[in-house]
Amino acid sequence: MANTMATIEISASPDQVWKLIGGFNSLPDWLPYIPSSELSEGGRVRRLENPDGDVIIERLVSFNEKERHYTYSIMQAPFPVTNYESTIHVRENGGKGTLVEWSGHFTPVGVSDDEAIKLFHGIYSDGLEALKKAFQA
């Protein structure tokens, strides 16, 4: 199983950051790679589309409002992995704003661990940069 994590510091408060990204249906609000998200199964499953029209279906595994994090798994996606599970966590950064962590683990299929790690690390890093820009606007 492979894994990766990206982090970013944001000058906004953890509550402000969580308000933007903490909803399971909020990816289109801050992640340019996902312009469309629809919830089903009482908000536990989201159907995403990327700009190319590829469909990604994810299931909410756990959600913790108080500690500001949620974990989800991929049920269907065009990615070369199985057993994918990821967590987005918003933390206080020692009184200096917020630290956001986006991590995941997965089993590569038809590609090397390094290729799969590079793919998801890029998605996480680019996504967190977009999130930071949302608070600089």
Confidence (pLDDT) at 95 = 82
Q: Work out the angle at residue 85's Cα, subtended by the Cα atoms of residues 62 and 81, and round it to the nearest 5 degrees.
A: 155
Q: Which amino acid is at 10?
A: I
Q: Which residues contact 52 (CB under 8 A, 6 or more apart)?
A: none
Confidence (pLDDT) at 137 = 67
Tokens encoding 52: 């190319």
**Full pLDDT tens readout for the chain, 137 residues:** 999 999 999 999 999 999 999 999 999 999 998 999 999 999 999 999 999 999 999 999 999 999 999 999 999 999 999 999 999 999 999 888 999 999 999 999 999 999 999 999 999 999 999 999 999 86
Neighbours of 84 (CB within 10 A): 19
Burial of 18 (0-12, 13-18, 19+ CB in 10 A): buried
pTM as predicted: 0.94
